[in-house]
Structure 1
């Protein structure tokens, strides 16, 4: 695959992953708002669409590293492989965000032959979904931040994109990671304004990188690392 095509595909995947992630949050929201099976069943289509967006996001995340790998390995093969692994783990950790709501949806839907829903089982699965909101999200943040560090270190040293973009990403990792850890320890929620402010710089940076790749592509490297 030519470098120009690689840049466009990767830029598109970054946009898809971000858009799908934002839509999934808007459609699903935190699981603590769910109070009963019959209420959850009323938003069947919204939950199904939200879970689909999570799967789209996970697929886009998983596709980016293999496409970028041939470019990155020219600068440091070990770090390029580390990027592939980190994003792969992140994609796996994102999947429960779709599985939990789909399980709840299945349990909240009318049962065959008129069998009643089981509120106790529903509550148990809901608690698991709420646990993911805290631990699963934070774990995925850790591997996402690791992948950002690996990718943008290579981009910064090789200058295949402007150093302003890659340097911005490196500087934005600490607040993003801090937000994930604060959520893990119960000091913030994923939907809090503070957490949004912490993740915003890196989220915007990723879109800037995506647009650069779509418009300008990848420049020939000036430094090998």
Structure 2
């Protein structure tokens, strides 16, 4: 029980770290219309964004690895589903980080050489940037949402956390998925007020659930019932 409590607390900490890292991973220079010149001009900003994006990836994976040994006792199939989708999401975040650094390298090359074939640089930069946006804000988020949906279904069934938290998680997950689908069909743009509003419930939940796991942890009575049945 002591080791599980420690794992739960670290999982809550990683949730908060992941949310904070996601905020600091935003690099306005990359999202600028003139990113080919702005990225190189704000080199440190882009590097800091890449570092925090990598930290976010590790946090996502850390949460899954810490929770898996506990939640698999209540549903092995749902637990492995949550872990699997988290691993895929982590890989996509890392891929997005690599694309961010590629855009920075392209910007440095563009500014340093002032090439005559600027249109070729623009075409390549646009391809990298669009791919990064789809990876970060559509496919990664949708994969993450599927994993989170599985997790909250498991938490509702196991009653490891209060029902209101799990339902909040399901609603927030669905809204985040809707935001990504709207981006996919070009109904909203990345980092707009509509996009941020749809993702706000999930962001607040990550903070609340993270604090809950650190301070309260999983339901002790539920865990105790499991160990009692196991001994019998």
TM over 0.5: yes
Query: 5+ residue gaps in structure 1?
Result: none
Which segments of structure 1 move beyond 4 Å, counting only runs of 4 or more?
none
1:21 to 2:18 alignment = no
Instruction: Note the 1:55-204 alignment, pairs <5 A.
Output: 55-109=54-108, 116=113, 118=115, 119-120=118-119, 122-136=121-135, 137-204=137-204
1:101, distance to aligned residue in structure 2 (A): 2.4
Following superposition, the deviation at residue 177 of structure 1 comes to 0.9
Contact 1:62 1:88 survives alignment (8 Å): yes
Task: Give the structure 2 partner of residue 207 of structure 1.
Answer: 207
Counterpart residue number, 2:229? none
Q: 1:118-156, CA deviations, whole angstroms, 9 ceiling, x for partnerless residues?
A: 545532342123323542121111111111111111111
TM-score by length of 1: 0.88
SS in 1 for 2:188: coil
Is the 8 Å Cα contact of residues 153 and 166 (structure 2) preserved in structure 1? yes
Deviation string, structure 1 residues 69-125 (Cα, Å, up to 9, x no partner): 1111100001100000111111111223322221122233369xxx72554553234
Aligned counterparts of 2:169 and 2:179: Cα–Cα separation in 1? 15
Shift of 1:29: 5.9
Q: Residue 108 of structure 1 contacts residue 117 of structure 1 at CA under 8 Å; is this kept in 2? A: no
Which residue of 2 is the match for residue 34 of structure 1? 34
Relative to 1, partners in 2 of residues 1:28 and 1:95: Cα closer, same or farther, differing over 3 Å? farther
Contact map agreement 1:134 1:184 (CA 8 A) in 2: no
- Structure 2, unaligned stretches of length 5 or more? 227-232
8 Å contact from structure 1 (residues 28, 50) kept in 2: no
Q: How many residues are paired up?
A: 219
RMSD: 2.2
- Does the 8 Å CA contact 1:3/1:218 hold for their aligned counterparts? no
Q: How many Å separate the matches in 2 of 1:108 and 1:190?
A: 21
- TM-score, normalised relative to structure 2: 0.86
Distance 2:76 2:123 in 1: 45
